[in-house]
């Protein structure tokens, strides 16, 4: 773990690249077509190019990767202003636009000129340009008209403004010179924190305080782990900083990936609600067949009266009229005959749930939902779907008796 600066910087930059890719995929899965999303994706892709191009420049020394790094770094402030405009639904001041656009164009040209012409002045100019433009974008966020934006929009602006508080102090560590030589570049850590803040926007129950507290806890645990490693191996302070940065970056990538999976699972869990909101409700069979392809109840069986001929239909109809959604484990207040029939029904179709979806004609749906996925929310959604299916069947029956 006594990492040389290049290896530590490489790990952190690649971790930031992975975090950005995860965030890009998460955003695209929800809405990739809106103008606001396109600006977000542009900014995230610029950061991703910056992270990977500078790693390639460090390890290969090729001029094309060095130029790509300067160009991407010059585009970061412009992307920040574009995202700020989209979030606040208003144009940036003309001076801010000129600074952002002019700086990006200037560094796109300067990136291809020999280092001998500018030396360290190019990096100093880039740093001042980034600092000034990001500060102007932050000023736009602070001075915005909160009443003109929705709660969700204000929350998004607040999360990004919060990340800028971390990004700006850490920005200086990405610029090296003979006078400034930090043990590790921390810009990648700031980008990972930005990714975490943005991906947490999809979790409406997570507040700013929850996110900040989680970040503080994660950082503290990473520092303690790094300190234990350094003390065990007898490393110096620089090694402690590099080790802590690597451990924190790895932990942030893991958290971002986990949160993206949570968003994906939430999206799948909402599929039944979307089925009610979007699919056809004028045809019972059409509704039920479309229901069967949804991930949550994929493979559910539609049972007609002929499929239930070996059961006591009269008793079964009476039971399901009173309890239209039954679980295999739900046998309280049932007679022995009813328990025996249900046990045979669940065993025959390898089902965990049976629900009544039509009385005339009598139809059931049998599905298998393992206990590990049968959350209270899923159970409630099944009840909603069952009631909707029954109402559609009654409506269809009344229309075509």
What's CA 121's distance to the chain center, in Å? Answer: 39
**Shared domain check, 283 and 254:** no
- Give yes or no: residues 313 and 328 share one domain: yes
Residues 169-180 as b/e (b if ≥16 CB within 10 A, e otherwise) read ebbebbbeeeee
CB-hemisphere CA count at 13 Å for 286?
9
Tokens, residue 109: 């040209």
237-269 vs 376-399: helix crossing angle, rounded to 10: 20
Contacts of 46 (CB under 8 A, 6+ apart): 72, 75, 76, 79
Residues 160 and 92 in one domain: yes
310 plus 392 within the same structural domain: yes
302 φ, ψ to 5°?
-95, 120
What is residue 354's DSSP assignment?
Answer: E
Please tell me whether residues 263 and 276 are part of one structural domain: no
Give the distance, in angstroms, between the CA of residue 45 and the centroid of all CA atoms in the same chain. 16
106 to each of 52, 80, 125, how far by Cα in Å?
Answer: 22, 17, 11
Shared domain check, 344 and 195:
no
Would you call 5 exposed, middle or buried from its count of C-beta atoms within 10 A (0-12, 13-18, 19+)? middle
Give yes or no: residues 179 and 55 share one domain. Answer: yes
Tens digits of pLDDT across the chain (401 residues): 445 567 889 999 999 999 999 999 888 876 666 777 888 889 899 999 999 999 998 888 888 998 999 999 999 989 988 888 887 778 888 899 999 999 999 999 988 887 756 667 888 888 889 888 888 888 887 777 777 777 777 777 777 776 677 677 777 777 765 555 678 888 888 888 888 877 776 665 556 667 667 777 887 888 888 888 878 777 778 888 888 888 889 988 988 888 887 777 666 656 556 655 555 555 666 666 666 666 556 667 888 888 888 888 888 888 888 888 888 777 667 778 788 888 888 888 888 888 888 888 888 888 877 654 455 566 777 777 777 777 777 766 555 45
Distance of alpha carbon 144 from alpha carbon 80, whole angstroms? 15
Residue 177 in tokens: 């010179």
Q: How many domains does the chain have?
A: 2
Do 336 and 309 lie in one domain? The reply is yes
Residue ending a domain, among 218, 250, 267, is 267
| Claim: this prediction has a pTM higher than 0.75 | no
Residues 247 and 390 in one domain: no
> Is the same domain home to 188 and 237?
yes
Same domain for 49 and 109: yes
The CB density around residue 306, as the number of other CB atoms within 10 Å, is 7
Paired residues of 333 in beta bridges? none
The CATH number of whichever domain residue 394 belongs to comes to 3.30.450
* CATH code of residue 217: 1.20.1070
Q: SS3 of 5, please?
A: helix
Co-location of 245 and 388 in the same domain: no
Given 221, 252, 267, the domain boundary residue is 267
Q: Is the preceding omega at residue 157 within 30 degrees of 0, hence cis?
A: no
Domain range holding 296?
Answer: 272-399
Residue 70 CB neighbours (<10 A): 23
Tell me the CA end-to-end span of the chain in Å, nearest whole number: 76
Pick from 233, 248, 267: which residue ends a domain? 267
């Amino acid at each position: 773990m006594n990492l040389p600066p290049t290896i530590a910087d490489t790990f952190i930059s690649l971790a930031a690249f992975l975090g950005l890719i995860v965030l890009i995929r998460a955003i695209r899965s929800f809405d990739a077509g809106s103008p606001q999303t396109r600006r977000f994706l542009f900014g995230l892709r610029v950061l991703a190019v910056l992270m990977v191009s500078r790693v390639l420049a460090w390890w290969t020394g090729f001029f094309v990767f060095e130029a790509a790094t300067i160009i991407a770094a010059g585009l970061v402030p412009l992307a920040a202003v574009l995202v700020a405009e989209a979030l606040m639904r208003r144009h940036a001041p003309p001076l801010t636009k000129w600074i952002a656009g002019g700086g990006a164009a200037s560094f796109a040209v300067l990136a291809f000129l020999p280092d001998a012409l500018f030396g360290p002045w190019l990096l100093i100019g880039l740093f001042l340009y980034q600092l000034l433009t990001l500060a102007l974008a932050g000023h736009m966020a602070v001075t915005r008209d909160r009443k003109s934006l929705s709660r969700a929009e204000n929350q998004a602006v607040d999360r990004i403004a919060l990340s800028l508080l971390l990004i700006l102090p850490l920005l200086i560590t990405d610029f090296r010179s003979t006078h400034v030589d930090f043990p590790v570049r921390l810009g990648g850590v700031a980008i990972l924190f930005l990714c975490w803040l943005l991906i947490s926007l999809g979790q409406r129950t997570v507040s700013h305080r929850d996110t900040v507290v989680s970040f503080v806890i994660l950082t503290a645990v990473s520092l303690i782990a790094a300190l234990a490693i350094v003390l065990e191996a007898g490393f110096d302070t620089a090694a402690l900083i590099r080790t802590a940065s690597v451990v924190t970056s790895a932990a942030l990538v893991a958290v971002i990936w986990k949160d993206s999976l949570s968003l994906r699972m939430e999206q799948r869990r909402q599929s039944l609600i979307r089925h009610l909101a979007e699919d056809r409700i004028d045809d019972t069979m059409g509704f039920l067949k479309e229901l069967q392809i949804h991930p949550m109840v994929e493979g559910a069986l539609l049972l007609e009266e002929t499929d239930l001929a070996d059961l006591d239909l009269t008793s079964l109809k009476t039971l399901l009229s009173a309890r239209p959604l039954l679980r295999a484990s739900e046998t309280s207040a049932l007679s022995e005959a009813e328990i025996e029939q249900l046990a045979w029904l669940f065993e025959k179709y390898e089902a965990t749930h049976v629900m009544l979806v039509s009385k005339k004609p009598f139809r059931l749906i049998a599905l298998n939902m393992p206990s590990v996925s049968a959350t209270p929310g899923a159970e409630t959604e099944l009840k909603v779907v069952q009631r909707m299916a029954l109402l559609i069947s009654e409506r269809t029956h009344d229309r075509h008796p």
